[in-house]
Amino acid sequence: MASLQQRLPENVPGDFFVDSTCIDCDTCTQLAPAIFRDHGDQCSVHHQPETSDETRQAMMALVACPTGSIGSTEKHDAHIGIDAFPFQLADNVYFCGFTSEDSFGAWSYLVRRPADEGGNVLIDSPRFATQLIKRLDAMGGISQMLLTHKDDVADHRLFHERYGCERIMHADDGAARHGVERIVSGVESIRLDRDLLAIPTPGHTRGHMVFLYQNRFLFTGDHLAGSSKRNALTAFRSVAWYSWPEQIRSMEKLLQYQFEWVLPGHGEIHHADAATMRRQLEECVRWMKTR
């Protein structure tokens, strides 16, 4: 729970606030940009909610915060935020909320599918929170868990124990050590089922992978994200733990695929038609080569 005594001075006066335990994961600024801002090394409230919708967004950020760094001085119904997750982004794709401090607040996603299409898929791990588990149970549980890379595995073991889901991860990121059921190796793309493709993209880590669903939704972990400031796609050289040149080559490989959504673990979600997305990916590759 956030501490009023640790309330950051950058917060505007009023109900909602961020305290000094904030790790600057930017979950709140993405969920509720009208309320929260990144003021440097941490986030804070720059506008107090004035409508019920703004209050709902603030409560969603409070629930999703991995460190419990968001608080309020007034009493709000917690279910305003809790019941919003998993939050539908488009079609049968959802943001899980309940981000984990173990993965520095990385976003995880749910693809909801009927059993005859393979069942529900969880991409990377949220917190194993009771409120989220109840919602996932009601939505049919989890059949597969796709792990993009070693940084964002968080509570994967607990989800496996709960649902018996098959976990999929690359060998070069320690999949065997994590007890993963299906281990991908090498650099060639792997067809997981009719709608899902695993694409090894070394760069951020040696065994990083992205996952393409229905040639529309690309779950990118820490490989690729959107940039609203530039209305473009971007990558982060400062966290290319394995190899920036290798990440550029991995990015070029994505040019052979079609997609309309970039859904990252860290960074901004990006949506555009397939032709625009390809053009922006080409621009991203050119930009990366100048860094």
In SS3 terms, the chain reads as CCCHHHECCCCCCCCEEEECCCCCCCHHHHHCCCCEEECCCCEEECCCCCCHHHHHHHHHHHHHCCCCCEEECCCCCCHHHHCCCCEEEECCEEECCCCCHHHCCCCCEEECCCHHHCCCEEECCCCCCHHHHHHHHHCCCCCEEECCCHHHCCCHHHHHHHHCCEEEEEHHHCCCCCCCCEEECCCCCEECCCCEEEEECCCCCCCCEEEEECCCEEEEECCCEEECCCCEEECCHHHCCCCHHHHHHHHHHHHHCCCCEEEECCCECEECCHHHHHHHHHHHHHHHCCC
List the CATH number of the domain containing 71.
3.30.70.20
The last residue of a domain, from among 42, 75, 108? 75
- Taking the whole predicted model, whether its pTM rises above 0.85 is answered as yes
Domain check: are 58 and 179 in the same one?
no
| Domain end residue (candidates: 75, 93, 123) | 75
* 72-129 per-position pLDDT tens digit: 999 999 999 999 999 999 999 999 999 999 999 999 999 999 999 999 999 999 999 9
Count of domains in the chain?
2
Looking at the structure, tell me whether residues 33 and 150 fall in a common domain. no
pLDDT digits (tens, 9 = 90+) for 215-257: 999 999 999 999 988 889 999 999 999 999 999 999 999 999 9
Please tell me whether residues 56 and 168 are part of one structural domain.
no
Determine the pLDDT at residue 179.
97
pLDDT digits (tens, 9 = 90+) for 116-137: 999 999 999 999 999 999 999 9
Q: Which domain holds residue 245?
A: 83-288
